Structure 1
Amino acid sequence: MNLIEKGIEHMQANELEEAASTFNQYIEENPNDPVGFINFGNLLNHVGEYDKAKNFFNRAIEIDSKSGTAYYGLGVLYFEQEDYQQAAREFQSAVQFGLNDADAYYMLAVTLRNQQNEKLALPYFQRASELDKKDEEIQFQYGLSLAYNGQIDHALTQLMYVTELDEQHADAHYNIAVCYLHKDLAQEALTYFKKTLHIQPDHMLAADGKIKVEEYLKEV
């Protein structure tokens, strides 16, 4: 196990002082390798030392101006501070410089969504979903993005896929119901509102939807 792997292991075990010491040792031994600076930056990000973290990521970029992981670290830093415009720039640089990773595309998409730019977010959600077919959250958010962009049939297919990954995913069932409402299929919507409440009895939106659909069906 090299020092980077050892430092990451310390981070995962929440042994932060040990992780810092290990990454620092790696940097001292490899001052021209951006990897040490990136991992130390990630550690500082983790503990909320954003200004210090920024210095480490920028140092990594000075060493390698095309380090996608350094730009990704900066993106996370700005995202945590809710500076979504700058975060989007950093995540875009990350993927531009070859970080072909589901998390990078997903974070870029979420950042764009937080700027109310769902149309631009959609292709990045799609790419993230292609890169990690088993990540339920990525798949679910892609389904929501399809729905937000008016692609209801595609959203239905995607949300059904989420329920295949996790049949207890209450919000996926709820949004399937909403999609059926958009297609004027009230009975199908009612079925999925009921499924949502079976999984999560305190799902208030599903409870409200169920009542309204039942009232509607009584009148038709």
Structure 2
Amino acid sequence: MTGGPMEISNMAEKMFSALTSQQDTRTSLSSTMLSSAITLLQNEKYTQSVQAFRAAIAYDPQSTDAYNYLATAYLKLGKNKEAIEAYKTSLAVDNTQAETHVNLANIYMEQNQNTEAEKEYKAAISADPSEELASYSYGLFLLKNDRAAEAATQFKNAARLSPNDGNIYYGLGCAYNKLGQYSDAVTQLEKATSLRDEFYDAYYELGNAYVGLGKTDEVQQQINILKDADTAETDVDAEALEEAIRQPKMTGVVSSGTTLSTVFMGATPLYLLDTELANPNSSKDFTIQFQFDSDMDVASVMNITNWSITKATGGVEGSYNNGVYLSDQNDVTLSPIPKSVMYDATTQRATITFTLSQNAEGDATIDPAHLVFKFMGKDDTGKVLDSSADEYDGFAGETF
């Protein structure tokens, strides 16, 4: 015979109490297993921790913490596929976990699954717009994929949410560097270095910003900071900045490839350079070969308009005819550009050919030591020559 309403109510309460007690027990066991699993993870016992996390999940399938830690353990074991599944299951339980969306996106980014990564970064921002990690991480993703302007927007948002995080200003500085906004990059990177000690990545990027601004002294300051750190990474970065500000040089003349004698000074009879020029109206080609310290742009070197041949006007190059005024009626007529230029990429040498012509009377003169040869081209990276080593004359005996 069925009991009365009161009896049925009491039975229901007992059943609910029993179920609640069982659930509490399962939750308690899950928490215990989760704690043990975390300890195993911290002790780098990753395989055992995976087993323990899975046991915790068996007791409480709604534990997002267990799924998230399980994903971490899988990542430590190099099992990205399993980590992805763990994060996805966690998000199926609670889709509002911004950090979990970010962690999942980071795996996708590492695997170059950019569509999936971007979807998760956006989901993270949507889940919690106040979470700076989401905007910052999305900014890094955009920066990696050459979307610097969009990255800058995300970094600015992250900086608004977390104004004292030097990493965010570093990211923003990197974005500005990629955009060629070097002054803005300097501002952000200086903030980054002021907020975080020994932030050598930021010092390196700051150096790059100063390279873009053409501020060599400031670049050198960053180089010194990186060298003082004295680590393998900072040494590499310092060398990269040194290379960035290094300019190619013309280092001197190669005698074996030169037929022009530059030992004569003052008004020298043209025929002393070659006996063929003793004949009136005769002409003779001469060469002068220059050594560079870098691989040069072949087309630039061989372009005769990138070279000039002039008469010295004073200073380190001396003065043509030693500064003594002479009627130039006998002085040889000199073309301001060479006849041709050849470049040997294997030796980094350029050979200039130019023509000297005798006058009708056979008494033309020249001052070979004060002929100034200048190169105005570039190397194979597009750099112009160091202005302290792009000219040469025999009087100086070295480039200047």
TM-score by length of 2: 0.47
Structure whose CA Rg is larger: 2
Write the mapping of 1:1-220 to structure 2, written as runs, cut at 5 A.
Answer: 3-98=33-128, 100-129=130-159, 137-165=167-195, 168-199=198-229, 200-202=234-236, 203-212=238-247, 216=386, 218=388
How much has 1:52 moved relative to structure 2?
A: 2.5
Cα distance, 1:49–1:194 mapped onto 2, change above 3 Å = closer
Q: Give the distance between the partners of 1:37 and 1:84, measured in 2 at CA.
A: 23
How much has 1:166 moved relative to structure 2?
A: 5.2
**Which structure shows the bigger proportion of residues in helix conformation?**
1
**Contact between 2:53 and 2:66, CA under 8 Å: does it hold in 1?**
yes
Segments of 5+ residues of structure 2 without an aligned counterpart are: 1-30, 250-384, 390-400
**Contact between 1:159 and 1:172, CA under 8 Å: does it hold in 2?**
yes
Q: Is the partner of 2:61 in helix, strand or coil?
A: coil
Q: Give the distance between the partners of 1:126 and 1:138, measured in 2 at CA.
A: 8
Segments of 5+ residues of structure 1 without an aligned counterpart are: none
Q: Give the distance between the partners of 1:76 and 1:101, measured in 2 at CA.
A: 16
How much has 1:173 moved relative to structure 2?
A: 3.0
Say what the alpha-carbon RMSD is for the aligned residues: 3.3
Q: Give the distance between the partners of 2:100 and 2:194, measured in 1 at CA.
A: 35
How much has 1:187 moved relative to structure 2?
A: 3.5
Could you tell me which amino acid in structure 2 is paired with residue 123 of structure 1? T
Match of 2:344 in 1: none
Q: Is the partner of 1:212 in helix, strand or coil?
A: coil
Q: Give the distance between the partners of 2:159 and 2:40, measured in 1 at CA.
A: 30
Cα distance, 1:218–1:196 mapped onto 2, change above 3 Å = farther
Q: Deviations over 1:194-215 (max 9, x none)?
A: 4444444553212223433998
How much has 1:90 moved relative to structure 2?
A: 0.9
Cα distance, 1:163–1:64 mapped onto 2, change above 3 Å = closer
Aligned residues: 219
Q: Give the distance between the partners of 2:71 and 2:129, measured in 1 at CA.
A: 17
Once structures 1 and 2 are overlaid, which stretch shifts more, 98-107 or 110-119?
Answer: 98-107
Q: Deviations over 1:116-167 (max 9, x none)?
A: 2111112223344455566554442332112223332231122223333456
Higher relative contact order (CA 8 A, sep 6+): 2
Cα distance, 1:141–1:53 mapped onto 2, change above 3 Å = same
Q: Deviations over 1:70-89 (max 9, x none)?
A: 42332133123221231121
- Report % sequence identity: 17
Q: Give the distance between the partners of 1:66 and 1:168, measured in 2 at CA.
A: 36
Q: Give the distance between the partners of 1:217 and 1:13, measured in 2 at CA.
A: 60
Could you tell me which amino acid in structure 1 is paired with residue 247 of structure 2? K
TM-score by length of 1: 0.78
Q: Deviations over 1:23-82 (max 9, x none)?
A: 223212222333322322232233232333333223223322333344233213312322
